Structure 1
Amino acid sequence: MDWKNQFSPLDITAADAIPELALTHLNSWSAISMVGDDKKSYLQGQVTCNVVTLAADQSTFGAHCDAKGKVWSVFRLFHHRDGYALFQPKSALEIELAEIKKYAVFSKVDITETDDIALGMMGPKAQQWIDENTESQGDVRPLIDGTAVKISQQRWLLLVSNSAAETLINDFSGTKVTEEFWTRFDIEDALPVITSSEQNVHIPQALNLQALDGICFTKGCYTGQETVARAKYRGINKRAMYPISGNITTPLPQGEVIELERAVGDNWRKAGQLMAYYQFADKHAIALAVLPNNLEADTQFRLANQPETRWKMEPLPYSLDDE
């Protein structure tokens, strides 16, 4: 059997227990690979996070912006093979690659999309599996022909070669699930997922990057730094990303922009769009959305294409303070 066809949807509700150990192929995710003598200095001058201080056993969130501070991509950065990997949704890569390579001609750096396969290890026993299959103890660990990166206590990213992925999947004895299950964790952890439909729309603080250690305010200059600093010190940012939840009347369409509306008196006004979503088996769904950061906690929402639905904001699992 082709290893790519071994994954099945997980039909559960929010109240159901998750599998002890699950594996997924993150088919809609990839990474930019950056190698060469100038990789560290070049990347340091392009992104919001501090590349210079990133240890080999650590990962960090970061963003790459245009000159006005609008985000081209949000990524997880870590050491991988002989360079860096910037892990992010695949749909953002075409534009992001062109943007981040703009000034690379002046540096000794090679920037490409990786050929590696992204897998997600999830569940209460994910940490145990990683510990049994690696020798180091950090949050980023070398694997045979790849790298393992800790996302949370119940989640690890594996970025490995095609042959290593095939062997791992064929030998795996846990539950093999489709990648929507990984998206559920991203939403519950409130981790930004910027796909092509949200590129060049938000500043980093509207995606909560300051609360996820994805912005270094003490490093040197980088593209878009003036806007990012002004948002912090002058309080110009008026938006934030929130987990939201509600009901659905029909399954949400894949690959389409899903508009969200909020109640304003007896009327409804456009509020934004779903950045990522997960549908449970009982017509309950969760999602991420960038919304005004001064909304009342009990503000009511609905899906524009399903006006009978009702959604609400959920508490963030972290503080938005960047101190």
Structure 2
Amino acid sequence: MSTWSNALNFKKIPLTAQDNLPDLALVNLDDWGLVTLIGDDKKSYLQGQVTCDVVSLPADASTLGAHCDAKGKMRTIFRLFNHNNGYGFLQRKSVMASQLPELKKYAVFSKVDIEASDDVLLGLTGESAQAVVDQLFTGEGDVRVIKAGTAVKIDEDRWLLAVTAEQAETVVNAIVEAYNDVRLSDSTLWDLYDIQYAIPRIDAATELEFIPQAMNLQAVDGISFKKGCYTGQETVARAKYRGINKRAMYIVSGEAAQCPQAGDALERNIGENWRKGGTLIASYQYADNLAVALVVLPNDLDSGTRFRLAAQPEFIWTKQDLPYTLEDE
């Protein structure tokens, strides 16, 4: 059994809302899971299961996507990339037990092996993350084969490293020894980046609650409207072409006594009353008690609408700008 993390202190970095994010941080992504798909039919099988276009995915790129039920409700949101002669399928660990059996349900009819991986998942974040990857790992592109694993570019400030448990200690020590100023963080720092970039996710508390467009998956290139059929495709297509979707995911911020959790209710102000307004998807609380979150809300709210956490009604929250547009092309 690997003991790579025993001697290292991955904990939440105490940041206030005014602080700059660390120039370089190594993040232990122990609440994320990886599924691997290997075999001759891996591409065609997955193409018929998920919202993204697996067939056209380049070897040096990754894509977001969703796996839905027959009604178009999402079991998970994942990041897909080429990994170890197959695919890696990154998702929240909290949905692994329920989602993986559904993904494997029809695999008996295809030449594909689908399993939960025991790879160690690490994040490199900050303005220096790209330079570190370029120095330590050879190759080009946004997905790179590295010793005993894969490096995947997430955005301009982040890389994911998926490596075997046997090699994790070597990789971590190489980074820590080469860069004295690297900060060690638990996965809350990754949460903060996901919120700032408005990257959707599904946890157990929100599984099978939303269609892909309710979490902006079309705005982050996680849905192909040109590929063939897949599970839930009829609902996803109707949401686009008939305008049946009435929700979207937004960034909200406000004070909090403690960090809210996925699935928590956000209320909206209507006149003198408060009503259920949305559902928390991900959140982060700064050291000065300001918190930021991703939340699914009605997509026709007035810009000045006020919000509050149902469990913490003493604090008022407001909606912030998204880093991308929700307008259809």
User: TM-score, with normalisation over the residues of structure 1?
Assistant: 0.96
Q: Which runs of 5+ in 2 are unaligned?
A: none
* Partner Cα separation in structure 1 for residue 288 and residue 307 of structure 2: 19
1:32-58: CA deviation from partner (whole Å, max 9, x where unpaired): 111111000000000000000001100
Q: Return the match for 2:228 from 207, 213, 220.
A: 220
Q: Is the 8 A contact 2:4 2:168 kept in 1?
A: no
Identity %: 54
Shift of 1:257: 4.1
Q: Which of residues 239, 243, 246 in structure 2 aligns to 1:238? A: 246
CA-CA distance at 1:2 after TM superposition:
5.5
Partner of 1:8 in structure 2?
Answer: 11
CA distance in structure 2 between the partners assigned to 1:55 and 1:2 by the alignment: 32
Is residue 45 of structure 2 the alignment partner of residue 42 of structure 1?
Answer: yes
Partner of 2:316: 310
Shift of 1:294: 0.3
Measured against aligned partners, the alpha-carbon deviations of 1:114-173 in whole angstroms (never above 9, x if no partner) come to 110110100110000011122211011111111111111111011111122212223313
**Aligned counterpart for 1:178 among listed residues 186, 195, 203:** 186
Instruction: Report runs of 4+ in structure 1 exceeding 4 Å deviation.
Output: none
Q: Where does residue 259 of structure 2 map in the other structure?
A: 252
Whole-Å separation in 2 of the counterparts to 1:205 and 1:63: 10
Whole-angstrom distance in 1 between the partners of 2:187 and 2:172: 14
Contact 1:210 1:321 in 2 (8 A): no
CA gap of 1:15–1:85, structure 2 versus 1, over 3 A, is same
- The answer to whether the 8 A contact 2:279-2:297 is kept is no
Whether the aligned pair in 2 keeps the contact of 1:3 and 1:170 (CA below 8 Å) is no
Distance 1:85 1:69 in 2: 23
SS at match of 2:23: coil
Q: Secondary structure at the match of 1:94?
A: helix
Name the amino acid aligned to 2:315. T
Give 1:211 deviation, angstroms: 0.6
Indicate the residue corresponding to 1:291 in structure 2: 297
Superimposed CA distance per residue, residues 258-285 of structure 1 (whole angstroms, 9 cap, x where no aligned partner):
2211111111111222111101011100
Query: Is 1:187 aligned to 2:187, yes or no?
Result: no
- Please name the residue that 2:204 is paired with: 196
Distance in 1 of aligned mates of 2:222 and 2:21: 29
Of the candidates 104, 108, 119, which is equivalent to residue 107 of structure 2? 104
Within 2, Cα distance between the matches of 1:322 and 1:114? 37
Q: Secondary structure at the match of 1:274?
A: strand
Out of 122, 146, 149, the residue aligned to residue 146 of structure 1 is 149
Residue identity opposite 1:294 in structure 2: D
Q: Which residue does 1:208 correspond to in 2?
A: 216
Distance 1:164 1:176 in 2: 18
Deviations 1:179-213 (A, max 9, x none): 10110000000000210111111001111111111
Q: How does 1:31-180 map to 2 (within 5 A)?
A: 31-171=34-174, 172=176, 173=179, 174-180=182-188
C-alpha separation between the residues in 1 aligned to 2:311 and 2:303? Answer: 23
Count of aligned pairs: 321
Q: TM-score, normalised by structure 2?
A: 0.95
Match of 1:18 in 2: 21
How far is 1:322 from its partner?
A: 4.1
Amino acid at match of 1:195: D
Separation in structure 1 between the aligned mates of residue 39 and residue 144 of structure 2, nearest angstrom = 21
Give deviations 1:28-82, integer Å, cap 9, x for gaps.
0011111111000000000000000001100001001111111111000000001
Structure 2 residue 283 is matched with structure 1 residue 277 = yes
- Provide the C-alpha distance between the structure 1 equivalents of 2:296 and 2:79, rounded to a whole number of angstroms: 19
Unaligned runs of 5+ in 1: none
3-state secondary structure, aligned to 1:3: coil
2:30 alignment partner, one of 21, 24, 27:
27
SS in 2 for 1:297: coil
Kindly report the root-mean-square deviation, in angstroms, between the aligned alpha carbons of the 2 structures.
1.3
1:7 Cα deviation (Å)?
1.1
